[in-house]
Amino acid sequence: MSDTAAVVSPVRRIVARTIDLRKDYLLGKNVVHALRGVSIEFRQGDFVAIMGASGSGKSTLLNLLGCLDKPTSGRYMLAGQDVSQLDDYALSKMRSRYLGFIFQSYNLIPQLSVVENIQIPLQYQGDDSPAALERCVRLAKLVGLGDRLDHRPTELSGGQQQRVAIARSLVNNPHVILADEPTGNLDSATGEEIMGLLDALNRAGRTIIMVTHEADIAAHAHRVLRLRDGRIEHDGRP
């Protein structure tokens, strides 16, 4: 090969893909078209922000990507599998195997310690081995909570609670991390700390799909999907 030959970067694999995805809701006697034929691809290492006004369909899209709901029609491919019409049990298995979740309200169990909250997804999989516990401790240290392992959520600040949620989202080594307004309940300085942590995870190769209404938070993403009336209005760089 010539010394001047171009180096071709490897093509990143598709980890999630929707094809003409539609979701309708019956509201009284009226049908609400929450998603109207959304077709998108997410590749390994993407950092995507989903934006849009209230009612644009962003939460509906995130729920479908998270296997928390089923589409009215269309297809959703996750890790090469069509999950569009799976039953609730099969969707639960897909969530536990391929997805990690970060919620605005943290969704921690107040009676459990930091390590025990991180361990919850593994317990759903029936893994309570010493190795699983060790992994939870490592993740707690990764997000800066090595000195808070036995603390309960009520003993933590909002930012620390969100760090627990991030560690929990990583414990099953997911293909995709789904974040729903991850800084929504935090002050701006703490929000930037959390986004710095997500930036670092993305640089390490994690795929992150995040719903936000804040432009400065969306600026951390490499790609922005803007929804309007259930359709993609914009798909490109922030």
CA–CA distance, 197 with 155 (Å, rounded to integer): 21
Task: State which CATH number among 3.40.50.300, 3.40.50.970, 3.40.50.720, 3.40.50.620 fits the domain covering 14-236.
Answer: 3.40.50.300
Q: Would you call 183 helix, strand, or coil by DSSP? A: coil
Please report, rounded to a whole number, the percentage of residues in the chain having pLDDT higher than 90. 89
For residue 3, pLDDT over 70 is answered with no
CA–CA distance, 82 with 91 (Å, rounded to integer): 11
Q: Distance of CA 180 to CAs 139, 165, 167, Å?
A: 21, 12, 15
Structure tokens given for 46:
């993407």
Question: What single-letter DSSP state applies at residue 153?
Answer: G
Give pTM, 2 decimals.
0.92
| Domain boundaries of the chain, sorted by first residue | 14-236
Beta bridge partners of 181: none
CA–CA distance, 78 with 63 (Å, rounded to integer): 13
Residue written as tokens 């090469």? 80
Structure tokens given for 188:
């701006």
pLDDT range class, residue 10, cuts 50, 70, 90: low
Stretch 137-145: mean pLDDT, rounded?
Answer: 96
**Sign of the C-alpha dihedral, residues 211, 214, 215, 216?**
negative
Instruction: Confirm if 97 and 124 have CB atoms less than 8 A apart.
Output: no
Beta pairing class for 176-180 and 207-211: parallel
Stretch 177-195: mean pLDDT, rounded?
Answer: 95
pLDDT range class, residue 1, cuts 50, 70, 90: very low
Check residue 101 and give its pLDDT: 96
Q: Roughly what angle, to the nearest 10 degrees, separates helices 158-170 and 188-203?
A: 20
Half-sphere exposure of 174 (CA within 13 A, CB side): 29
Q: Distance of CA 42 to CAs 60, 91, 125, 225, Å?
A: 17, 19, 26, 11
CA–CA distance, 202 with 186 (Å, rounded to integer): 21
Q: Would you call 96 helix, strand, or coil by DSSP? A: helix
